[in-house]
Amino acid sequence: MTTKVPNCRNCRSAMDEGWIADQGRHHSTVFEPKWIEGEPHHQRWMGIDWGITTKDAKQHAVTTWRCPRCGLLESYAL
């Protein structure tokens, strides 16, 4: 993960590293968020949306920093 700690652009406090969980369908699992290049492509078959395909798309894990003083969030996809 990132080693350089960013400072909040509002109040200049040192920010805490973390990430925003993407809740699973059954609320028992969470997924690590990713930045994906381009627009989302929905896979449809027989009129049903089977989800978004990410095949061949450029992906980066997302790290989100949170300011402990004012709550500002700042995300990086490296």
Please report how close the Cβ of residue 21 comes to Zn ion at its closest, in angstroms.
22
Residue closest to 64 by CA, chosen among 11, 22, 24: 22
* Nearest to Zn ion of 65, 67 (CB atom): 67
Q: Which is nearer to Zn ion, 35 or 66 (CB)?
A: 66
Please identify, using beta-carbon distances, which residue of 42 and 69 lies nearer to Zn ion.
Answer: 69
Minimum distance between the CB of residue 10 and Zn ion, rounded to whole angstroms?
Answer: 4
CA gap 61, 40 in Å, rounded: 17
- What 3-state class would DSSP assign to 26? coil
Q: For binding to Zn ion (CB under 5 A), which residues are involved?
A: 8, 10-11, 13, 67, 69-70, 72
Least distance in angstroms from the C-beta of 27 to Zn ion? 31
Measuring CA to CA, which residue among 64, 74, 62 is closest to residue 8? 74
Q: Taking the CB of residue 76, how many other CB atoms lie within 10 A of it? A: 15
